Structure 1
Amino acid sequence: MVESMESTRTDLALLAVRVVVGITFLLHGLDKLGDLSGTEQGFDGMGIPAPGLMAPLVAVLETVGGIALILGALAPLFAIGLAIDMLVAGLTAHTGNGFFVSDGGYELVLLLGVAALGIAIAGAGRFSVDATLRLGRRVPGYPGGERGTLA
């Protein structure tokens, strides 16, 4: 019973983190999709290679990845991509600006990147599409496979 309560708390914590981080990525991705030309120009100004390819790729990753985190659908896979996205953003756009986001610093990308990395390592939790599909039990090494499912 105690183990079950602890497991439920962990799964609720993963749900909360997934939803908040997912909404944040979704909104940032939609913002980029809404102005792909501006996103491409911004990427070009930061020295990101192939900005014409990278701008839509990042916009779609953040949009679809955000939805995937919210639903907990292939969450660890999308979370890895989003963590890498934040690493690149931190290194290209924020490193020289200090810590605080208000100064253009890396505060937000660090927080989002580490949260995404945590999801990639821990898995989506019991309250997710991944758990409903039992991916953790069907796919060897899939994060979160040792925890139960809703069904």
Structure 2
Amino acid sequence: MPRTRSPHASTPTASTAWGLLIIRLALGAVFLMHGAQKLFEFTIPGTVESFGAMGAPLPEITAPLVAVLEFAGGILLILGLLTRLVALLLAVDMVVALVLVHAAAGFWVAEGGYEFVAVLGAAALGIALTGAGSLSLDRPLLRGRAPAWLA
């Protein structure tokens, strides 16, 4: 007997909502902590110096931009607010880090490789494509007020 498709097959399930929440919380916490490290531990001048030493273009601009993006973006991912846009920006951040800094060191993170930034970038891109899910602030705050690609 052929299987028939449920009329609810494309409706997100509770497990999908919880799965997206778990990924957002973990990913957001990692980005939040890395941004906090750049802002408060290394400080902006130290981060600018580090970016310059790594060969990042325009470190006086890119270092504070990345620090704020990672810190604020982590918070926004945790909250599920402006999720698609923030996740896309963080994915781009990781692609740039992979290409400019980590690719030459190979795969393994212990050797400075791209293993970790690849996972962060893939997770961020996945969230950018799927959105925050129903357990987010995007749903109640932006429903119908923002383009679908943003929320």
- TM-score clears 0.5: yes
Q: Distance in 2 between matches of 1:143 and 1:2?
A: 27
Q: Which amino acid aligns with 2:28?
A: G
Q: 1:128 aligns with which of 128, 136, 146?
A: 136
Determine what percentage of the aligned residue pairs are the same residue: 47
Q: CA RMSD in A?
A: 2.0
> Quick check: 1:25–1:65 contact (8 Å CA) kept in 2?
yes
Give the secondary structure class of the aligned counterpart of 2:81.
coil
Q: Which amino acid aligns with 2:121?
A: G
> Quick check: 1:121–1:143 contact (8 Å CA) kept in 2?
no
Q: Distance in 2 between matches of 1:63 and 1:7?
A: 30
Q: Which amino acid aligns with 2:15?
A: R
The unaligned stretches of length 5 or more in structure 1 are 145-151
State the number of aligned residues.
143
> Quick check: 2:83–2:138 contact (8 Å CA) kept in 1?
yes
Match of 1:93?
101
Match of 2:146?
139
| Pair 57,140 (structure 1): closer, same or farther in 2 beyond 3 Å | closer
| Pair 45,131 (structure 1): closer, same or farther in 2 beyond 3 Å | same
> Quick check: 1:18–1:119 contact (8 Å CA) kept in 2?
yes
The unaligned stretches of length 5 or more in structure 2 are 1-5
TM-score by length of 2: 0.87
Match of 1:8?
14
Q: Distance in 1 between matches of 2:147 and 2:59?
A: 36
Match of 2:3?
none
Match of 1:48?
56
- How far the C-alpha of 1:138 sits from its partner, in A, is 3.6
Q: 1:79 aligns with which of 64, 78, 87?
A: 87
Q: Distance in 2 between matches of 1:143 and 1:8?
A: 22
Runs of 4+ in 1 over 6 A off after TM superposition: none
Give the secondary structure class of the aligned counterpart of 1:73.
coil
Q: Which has the larger radius of gyration?
A: 2
| Pair 110,60 (structure 1): closer, same or farther in 2 beyond 3 Å | same
